[in-house]
């Protein structure tokens, strides 16, 4: 023991067990609250509150965050939790900061987003009081906030037990404050994290053999250090009171998926669809896979997983139809289960990450895989453009309508107008045009080809285009920079995906070998400010393309609003390239996983070509 030992007496009936707390380098032996045998600290509702305290003090405590997310009142589904962890890890953020990023991810469905927002809201309100109220008051309010006293759907006796154990936790905090009046809530949270039941005969290993006092604190610090710790901690937190191995975790995920699949597939049976049989077969195979996991969990002691798998698979396949066999045999579940044995050579962190991703993939619904042949594949990834990425991020269902199902749409007058202006500029420059007359001749020819007539609206638009191109030509004459490429194409790989597109114009700024270039994209819409374009990724993608495909190490970027003769430069940095890469990989993963949940909003739906056919359009 490092410091002086102090005995506290919370009440005459205090039992003999003690809780060991580290207080400012001293050890305080604090008797448990009256009437308590210490077991209440192992109860789920108490551990929930402790997890919240830990994460409020240390947002790097991934285990605490994961527990708080997966337990009431948030109850994020485990599949979504795996996604959130992936997003946080990819962005190299702590879990709390990663949650905000996750709400922007197209892979996180609206319901999960709501849950995450509830978490963020709870976190914000509790964090605001962390340093402003007394520790015991804080604990009392946190219990209220989490609404854990008497959760619905519990039997009255269970509710009473929950209340009692939370009352004991609160009293523990009150005793702590009495003993150390100057301590803060942060101190209390850190110290509660070190509470070790010290009960002879207690079945909990930690109670039978208390760890050295310094150990819990060091372990807590270590959990925040490396990304690889997420996966291990997640398992620990998610299933603290439950089975801990990968097989159990997969079983639990799949059980959830099967139950959801029942509702999803059942709901579709009433629709007029050509692939109903496929839906049903996918649902049946998910159930067979759940049976497989159950059989594996109950296999004879000592039997190798691979041996059991072969046997169970043969039996299940014997009961399946030909279509179900095909689906069953192309599932990645078996690879996932034998994954740890086949992932030699990876670090523990990479291994955990791979395992988590593989499990999420294996569990994801497969009945929509009938769309697989229609995905815009290139090699093992996808062919993507800046516009594809924008469309998917604005609404995955819109992307599905446009790029997967390729439902044709009629061009609006504004779309036709924009196309004409772009084409005129492209032809003018590719033909080596010089004079204003040449430019306006191209406008006249293009105007008629685009189907514009002599009506009032069309004449007004023509005047607009005429004036804009005249100004464009005048500006070009005065231009100091030298336009060197027009409609220059790019095609480069980012992860497994191929990014392709064209940059309207590239200007060379200055002379010499180290001259910079400016990538310019023409727009015929209303101008946006640089601030409004902060989250825009088109120009960032172009900058990446210029570097990856054309070898232009540094470039500037700008939108040129042709109708207003306004150039809006958009500054981009190194961090931007990393963020764009993340976004592209996320979008690619979403499309490959056939995640096309709609994200309706007034902004997205008002410019969506599919709002007439879309069942959830917000207009
Ligand atoms: S109408 Fe709205 S919800 Fe429907 S596909 Fe278009 S953007 Fe998505």
Q: Is residue 402 in contact with ligand 1, taking CB distance under 6 Å?
A: no
Q: How do residues 64-122 score in pLDDT, each as one tens digit? A: 888 888 888 888 876 677 667 766 666 667 777 777 777 776 667 777 888 888 898 89
- Domain membership flag for residue 541: yes
Question: Probe ligand 1: pick from 611, 613, 619, max atoms within 8 Å of CB?
Answer: 611
* Positive or negative: CA dihedral 84, 89, 90, 93: positive
Both 43 and 149 in one domain: the answer is yes
Both 227 and 266 in one domain: the answer is no
Confidence (pLDDT) at 63: 75
* Contact criterion met (CB below 8 Å) for 66 and 234: yes
Closest-lying ligand 1 atom to the alpha carbon of residue 394: 7
Q: How do residues 442-463 score in pLDDT, each as one tens digit? A: 999 999 888 888 889 999 999 9
For helices 78-90 and 348-363, the axis angle rounded to 10 degrees is 140
Closest-lying ligand 1 atom to the alpha carbon of residue 611: 1
What is the whole-number distance in angstroms between the Cα of residue 390 and the centre of ligand 1?
13
Higher pLDDT, 109 or 600: 600
Confidence (pLDDT) at 230: 30
DSSP-derived secondary structure letter, 87 = H
Both 351 and 227 in one domain: the answer is no
Closest-lying ligand 1 atom to the alpha carbon of residue 604: 7
What is the whole-number distance in angstroms between the Cα of residue 72 and the centre of ligand 1?
32
Q: Is residue 605 in contact with ligand 1, taking CB distance under 6 Å?
A: yes
- Domain membership flag for residue 599: no
* Contact criterion met (CB below 8 Å) for 604 and 406: no
| Residue whose pair of structure tokens reads 């997966």 in the numeric block | 70
Start-end of H helices in 37-155: 44-57, 62-70, 78-90, 95-104, 110-129, 135-146
Among residues 238, 258, 284, the one where a domain terminates is 238
Q: Is residue 400 in contact with ligand 1, taking CB distance under 6 Å?
A: no
Q: How do residues 490-532 score in pLDDT, each as one tens digit? A: 999 999 999 999 999 999 988 777 788 999 999 999 999 888 8
Both 451 and 309 in one domain: the answer is no
Both 255 and 223 in one domain: the answer is no
Hey, whose CA ends up nearest to atom 5 of ligand 1?
A: 398
Both 503 and 578 in one domain: the answer is yes
Q: Is residue 398 in contact with ligand 1, taking CB distance under 6 Å?
A: yes
What is the whole-number distance in angstroms between the Cα of residue 600 and the centre of ligand 1?
5
Q: Is residue 393 in contact with ligand 1, taking CB distance under 6 Å?
A: no
Q: Is residue 461 in contact with ligand 1, taking CB distance under 6 Å?
A: no
* Contact criterion met (CB below 8 Å) for 229 and 353: no
Read off the CATH number of the domain in which 146 is found. 1.10.486.10
- Domain membership flag for residue 355: yes
- Domain membership flag for residue 131: yes
- Domain membership flag for residue 265: yes
* Contact criterion met (CB below 8 Å) for 168 and 11: no
* Positive or negative: CA dihedral 131, 135, 136, 138: positive
What is the whole-number distance in angstroms between the Cα of residue 505 and the centre of ligand 1?
32
Question: In the Cβ-directed half-sphere of 120, how many Cα atoms lie within 13 Å?
Answer: 15
**Mean pLDDT confidence for 286-308:** 89
**Mean pLDDT confidence for 423-436:** 91
Q: How do residues 186-245 score in pLDDT, each as one tens digit? A: 888 877 766 644 333 333 232 233 332 223 323 333 333 222 323 333 333 333 333 346
Range of the domain at 136: 5-238
Percent share of the chain, pLDDT over 90: 28
94, 154, 522, 532 from 48: Cα distances, Å:
19, 17, 54, 41
Q: Is residue 597 in contact with ligand 1, taking CB distance under 6 Å?
A: no
Both 481 and 346 in one domain: the answer is no
Closest-lying ligand 1 atom to the alpha carbon of residue 614: 4
Burial class (CB in 10 A: 0-12, 13-18, 19+), 230: buried
Both 98 and 10 in one domain: the answer is yes
Hey, whose CA ends up nearest to atom 3 of ligand 1?
A: 600
Both 86 and 219 in one domain: the answer is yes
What is the whole-number distance in angstroms between the Cα of residue 615 and the centre of ligand 1?
8
Closest-lying ligand 1 atom to the alpha carbon of residue 400: 5
How far apart (Å, rounded) are the C-alpha atoms in residues 175 and 155?
30
Q: Is residue 47 in contact with ligand 1, taking CB distance under 6 Å?
A: no
Confidence (pLDDT) at 530: 85
What is the whole-number distance in angstroms between the Cα of residue 539 and the centre of ligand 1?
25
Q: How do residues 558-596 score in pLDDT, each as one tens digit? A: 999 999 999 999 987 666 888 899 999 999 999 998 889
Is a pLDDT exceeding 70 seen at residue 301? yes
Cα dihedral 311, 355, 79, 324 in deg (nearest 10): -30
Both 525 and 559 in one domain: the answer is yes
Say whether 488 sits in a helix, a strand or coil. strand
By C-alpha distance, which of 443, 388, 409 is closest to 591? 388
- Domain membership flag for residue 393: no
Assigned token pair, 52: 């919240």
Q: How do residues 132-154 score in pLDDT, each as one tens digit? A: 999 999 999 999 888 754 444 45
What is the whole-number distance in angstroms between the Cα of residue 597 and the centre of ligand 1?
10
Both 429 and 480 in one domain: the answer is yes
Mean pLDDT of all residues belonging to the chain: 76
Spell out a b/e string for 130-140, using b for 16 or more CB atoms within 10 Å of the CB, else e: beeebbbbbbb
By C-alpha distance, which of 145, 143, 4, 146 is closest to 71? 146
Q: What is the 3-state secondary structure (H, E, C) of 511-560?
A: CCCCCEEEEEEEECCCCCCCCCCCCCCHHHHHHHHHHHCCCCCCEEEEEE
Q: How many domains does the chain have?
A: 3
- Domain membership flag for residue 603: no
* Contact criterion met (CB below 8 Å) for 208 and 66: no
Burial class (CB in 10 A: 0-12, 13-18, 19+), 231: buried
How far apart (Å, rounded) are the C-alpha atoms in residues 482 and 516?
11
By C-alpha distance, which of 383, 446, 373, 388 is closest to 416? 446
Both 176 and 292 in one domain: the answer is no
178, 253, 412, 477, 527 from 523: Cα distances, Å:
67, 47, 16, 20, 8
Q: In which region does residue 3 sit, left (phi positive, over 0), alpha (psi from -120 to 50) or beta (all else)?
A: beta
**Cis peptide, bond prior to residue 73, ω within 30 of zero:** yes
Confidence (pLDDT) at 279: 78
Read off the CATH number of the domain in which 518 is found. 3.90.320.10
Residue 508, strand partner residues:
482, 517
What is the whole-number distance in angstroms between the Cα of residue 439 and the centre of ligand 1?
38
Higher pLDDT, 299 or 245: 299
* Contact criterion met (CB below 8 Å) for 31 and 10: yes
Q: Is residue 604 in contact with ligand 1, taking CB distance under 6 Å?
A: yes
Confidence (pLDDT) at 482: 86
Q: Is residue 590 in contact with ligand 1, taking CB distance under 6 Å?
A: no
What is the whole-number distance in angstroms between the Cα of residue 267 and the centre of ligand 1?
20
- Domain membership flag for residue 394: no
Q: Is residue 610 in contact with ligand 1, taking CB distance under 6 Å?
A: yes
């Amino acid at each position: 023991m490092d410091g002086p030992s102090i005995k506290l007496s919370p009440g005459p009936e205090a039992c003999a067990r003690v809780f060991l707390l580290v207080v400012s380098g001293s050890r305080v032996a604090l008797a448990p609250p009256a009437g308590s045998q210490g077991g209440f600290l192992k109860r789920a509702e108490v551990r929930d509150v402790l997890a919240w305290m830990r994460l409020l003090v240390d947002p790097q405590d991934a285990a605490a965050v994961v527990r708080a997310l997966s337990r009431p009142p948030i109850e994020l589904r485990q599949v979504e939790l795996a996604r959130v962890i992936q997003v946080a890890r990819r962005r190299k953020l702590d879990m709390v900061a990663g949650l905000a990023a996750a709400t922007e991810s197209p892979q996180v469905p609206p319901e999960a987003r709501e849950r995450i927002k509830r978490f963020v809201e709870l976190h914000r309100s509790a964090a605001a009081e962390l340093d402003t109220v007394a520790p015991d008051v804080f604990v009392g309010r946190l219990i209220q906030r989490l609404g854990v006293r008497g959760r619905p759907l519990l039997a009255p006796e269970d509710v009473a037990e929950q209340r009692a154990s939370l009352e004991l936790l609160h009293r523990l905090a009150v005793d702590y404050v009495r003993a150390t009046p100057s301590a803060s809530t942060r101190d209390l949270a850190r110290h509660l994290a070190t509470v070790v039941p010290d009960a002879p005969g207690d079945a909990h290993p930690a109670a039978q053999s208390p760890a050295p006092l310094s150990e819990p604190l060091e372990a807590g610090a270590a959990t925040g250090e490396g990304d690889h710790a997420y996966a291990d901690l997640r398992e620990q937190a998610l299933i603290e009171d439950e089975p801990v191995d990968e097989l159990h975790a997969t079983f639990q995920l799949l059980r959830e998926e099967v139950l959801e699949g029942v509702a999803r597939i059942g709901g579709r049976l009433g629709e007029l669809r050509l692939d109903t049989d496929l839906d049903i077969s996918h649902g049946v195979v998910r159930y067979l896979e759940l049976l497989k996991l159950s059989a594996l969990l109950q296999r004879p002691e000592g039997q190798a997983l691979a041996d059991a798998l072969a046997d169970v698979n043969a039996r299940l396949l014997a009961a399946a139809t030909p279509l179900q066999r095909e689906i069953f045999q192309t599932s990645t579940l078996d690879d996932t289960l034998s994954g740890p044995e086949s992932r030699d050579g990876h670090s523990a962190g990479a291994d955990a990450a791979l395992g988590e991703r593989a499990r999420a993939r294996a569990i994801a619904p497969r009945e929509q895989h009938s769309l697989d042949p229609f995905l815009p594949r290139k090699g093992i990834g996808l062919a993507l453009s800046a516009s594809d990425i924008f469309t998917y991020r604005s609404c995955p269902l819109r992307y599905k309508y446009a790029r997967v199902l390729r439902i044709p749409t009629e061009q609006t007058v504004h779309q036709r107008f924009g196309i004409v202006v772009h084409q005129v500029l492209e032809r003018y420059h590719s033909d080596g045009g010089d004079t204003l007359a040449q430019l306006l001749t191209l406008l006249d020819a293009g105007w008629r080809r685009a189907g514009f007539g002599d009506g009032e609206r069309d004449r007004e638009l023509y005047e607009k285009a005429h004036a804009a191109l005249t100004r464009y030509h005048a500006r070009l004459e005065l231009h100091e920079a030298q336009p060197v490429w027009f409609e220059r194409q790019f095609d480069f790989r980012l992860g497994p995906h191929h990014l392709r597109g064209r940059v309207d114009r590239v200007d060379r700024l200055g002379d010499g070998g180290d001259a910079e270039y400016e990538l310019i994209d023409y727009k015929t819409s209303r101008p946006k400010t640089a601030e409004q374009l902060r989250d825009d990724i088109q120009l960032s993608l172009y900058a990446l393309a210029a570097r990856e495909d054309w070898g232009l190490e540094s470039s500037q970027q700008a939108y040129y609003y042709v109708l207003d003769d306004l150039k809006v430069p958009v500054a981009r940095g190194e961090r931007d390239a990393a963020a764009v890469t993340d976004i592209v990989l996320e979008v690619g993963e979403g499309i490959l996983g056939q995640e096309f949940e709609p994200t309706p909003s007034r902004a997205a739906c008002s410019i969506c070509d599919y709002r007439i056919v879309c069942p959830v359009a917000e207009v």
